[in-house]
């Protein structure tokens, strides 16, 4: 599986981009509940409000329309909302500015910015992210693909190039997909180090796929937004209905993509269903 565009070679005229955590891999809940949230409490000393803050973190990152937000933007958002709700936290300024201006939301880019500015907020954000990666690396026997993923990818990869487009750490995603034998169905992996999801899709579009035969498969509003920014289709993996969603991709949506029947009416139906599912949680 390639992890750099310079090593990628197009095989088909159809492109299927797939998110990882919470979409293909059943890892999102455990990573947030066991790693992301607890490490915030540890790094930023929020022990006195641990339960309240962790509930807020999970609400924003798992069970609302900001599900799947980039980790650094999620960190900034959680402190903003916590302050709005009267918790004793100070919202970020330097880290927020960095998330709004950087072209790469990654540990590497954050470390470089800290070296250039010396802003302590950036150092703490980096420390938190590194501790999260370390904690994720210690999780054992918890990552697995959702039912229907392997069958779906096996079918799709026969007639389309498959790209993982994820805001997660590239190394972790590569290890997870390889461990479960999904790597053989993937042509390229673009993780957080490759840029935003919208940028990654835009970079892949430069390989001249058919405009109406590119789809982003994802479980979060950020995936939909990345698809819209590039004028490509979006196929939702519905939270709590992942197996159904993957089976429908294989049996209905992908054949529509190939035949040209993935039209505006079908797209609107899928997006309405996606929004309704997230809004009702």
Q: Which of 243, 251, 257 lies closest to 210, judged by CA? A: 257
Question: What pLDDT score does 232 carry?
Answer: 97
- Please check whether residues 32 and 124 belong to one and the same domain: yes
pLDDT classification of 277: cutoffs 50, 70, 90 = confident
Rounded to 5 degrees, what are φ and ψ at 215? Answer: -140, 140
At residue 212, the pLDDT reads 93
Position 211 scores a pLDDT of: 83
Q: What is the pLDDT of residue 281?
A: 59
Domain boundary among 138, 165, 181: 138
Question: Encoding tokens for residue 225?
Answer: 């937004």
The reply to whether 147 and 134 lie within a common domain is no
- Tell me: do 154 and 255 sit in the same domain: yes
Residues 256 and 273 in one domain: yes
Q: Tens digits of per-residue pLDDT, 184-204?
A: 999 999 998 898 899 999 999
If asked whether residues 124 and 224 sit together in one domain, one would say no
The verdict on 273 and 221 lying in the same domain is yes
Whether 13 and 151 map to the same domain: the answer is: yes
Query: What's the confidence (pLDDT) of residue 203?
Result: 97
Same domain (yes/no): 225, 112: no
Tell me: do 86 and 163 sit in the same domain.
no
Q: Are residues 148 and 11 in the same domain?
A: yes
**Res. 280 pLDDT band, cuts 50 70 90:** low
Using CA atoms, how far apart are residues 35 and 199, in angstroms rounded to an integer? 27
Domain termination residue (choose one: 123, 138, 153): 138
* 148: phi then psi, degrees, rounded to nearest 5: 95, -15
Q: In the predicted model, is pLDDT for residue 174 greater than 80?
A: yes
Given 104, 138, 172, the domain boundary residue is: 138
How far from 96 is each of 48, 81, 90, 186, 225, CA to CA, in Å? 24, 13, 12, 34, 20
Predicted pLDDT at 139: 83
Q: Which CATH number characterizes residue 201's domain?
A: 3.40.50.1000
Q: Which domain holds residue 83?
A: 28-138
DSSP letter at 164?
E
Q: What is the percent of the chain with per-residue pLDDT over 70, rounded to a whole number?
A: 99
Q: Do 12 and 148 reside in the same domain of the chain? A: yes
Q: How many domains does the chain have?
A: 2
Q: How many CA within 13 A on the CB side of residue 234?
A: 28
Confidence of residue 169 (pLDDT cuts 50, 70, 90): confident
pLDDT in tens, 60-101: 998 888 888 889 999 999 999 999 999 999 999 999 999 999
């Amino acid at each position: 599986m390639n992890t750099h565009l310079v090593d990628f070679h197009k095989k088909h005229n159809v492109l299927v981009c797939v998110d990882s955590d919470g979409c293909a891999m059943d890892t999102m809940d455990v990573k947030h509940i066991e790693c992301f949230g607890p490490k915030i409490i540890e790094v930023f000393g929020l022990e006195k409000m641990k339960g309240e803050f962790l509930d807020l973190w999970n609400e924003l990152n798992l069970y609302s329309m900001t599900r799947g937000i980039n980790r650094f933007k999620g960190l900034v958002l959680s402190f903003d909302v916590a302050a709005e709700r009267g918790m004793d936290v100070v919202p970020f300024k330097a880290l927020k500015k960095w998330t709004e201006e950087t072209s790469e939301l990654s540990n590497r880019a954050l470390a470089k910015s800290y070296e250039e500015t010396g802003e302590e907020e950036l150092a703490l954000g980096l420390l938190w992210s590194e501790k999260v990666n370390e904690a994720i690396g210690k999780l054992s026997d918890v990552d697995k693909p959702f039912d229907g993923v392997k069958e779906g990818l096996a079918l799709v990869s026969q007639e389309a190039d498959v790209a993982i487009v994820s805001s997660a750490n590239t190394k972790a995603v590569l290890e997870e997909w390889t461990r479960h034998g999904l790597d053989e169905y993937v042509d390229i992996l673009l993780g957080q180090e490759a840029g935003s999801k919208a940028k990654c899709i835009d970079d892949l579009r430069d390989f001249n796929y058919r405009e109406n035969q590119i789809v982003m498969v994802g479980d979060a509003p950020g995936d939909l937004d990345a698809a819209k920014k590039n004028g490509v289709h979006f196929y939702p993996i519905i939270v709590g209905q992942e197996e159904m969603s993957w089976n429908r991709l294989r049996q209905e949506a992908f054949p529509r993509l190939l035949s040209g029947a993935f039209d505006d009416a079908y797209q609107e139906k899928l997006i309405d269903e996606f929004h309704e599912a997230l809004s009702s949680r």
